[in-house]
Structure 1
Amino acid sequence: MDIELGIRNVARTVTFSTEESAESVNDTIAKAVAEGTPIALTDDKGRRIIVPAGALGYAIVGSETKHAVGFGAL
């Protein structure tokens, strides 16, 4: 699933893919924002992405459906 985090006062977004479910990602972000703690997520390569909750401008959590890439035969 693809995730895009917009950071306040930063032109570039933080974009990555993760194996976590959309519900898990939403819960992690909501809890961090409510408590004022850093948002800590792990991408599909095992790297940790940590963003201060107060700096978060927006979050887009993509669909969990795998989309086929390429051309299909008719």
Structure 2
Amino acid sequence: MEVKIGVQHAPREIVLESGQSADEIERAVADALVGKAQLLSLEDDRGRKVLVPAERLAYVEIGEPTVRKVGFGAM
């Protein structure tokens, strides 16, 4: 799942590929925004954690799962 996170006062967004489902990501974002968690914590495909302070979140965009193509095809 591709996730884009906008951070206030940061010139670039954070983009990561996560193995978490869209529901899990949405739940983590909601918990951070409601105040249940002070950090938004997501894990990417390589096992690295991304931590963003909840009060600095500008937006979170949850994309479609990426399909990896293998082999050669006509373009």
Partner of 1:43: 44
Matched residue SS, 1:46: coil
Work out the percentage of aligned pairs sharing the same amino acid.
33
Give TM-score, length-normalised by structure 2. 0.85
Is 1:13 aligned to residue 13 of structure 2? Answer: yes
Letter in 1 for 2:49: R
State the superposition RMSD in angstroms. Answer: 2.1
Partner of 1:52: 53
Gaps of at least 5 residues in structure 1 are: none
Q: Deviations over 1:2-54 (max 9, x none)?
A: 00000001111110000100010000011111015100010000000000010
CA distance in 2, matches of 1:44, 1:14: 14
Gaps of at least 5 residues in structure 2 are: none
Give TM-score, length-normalised by structure 1. 0.86
List structure 1 segments (4+ residues) > 6 angstroms apart after TM superposition. none
CA distance in 2, matches of 1:19, 1:28: 14
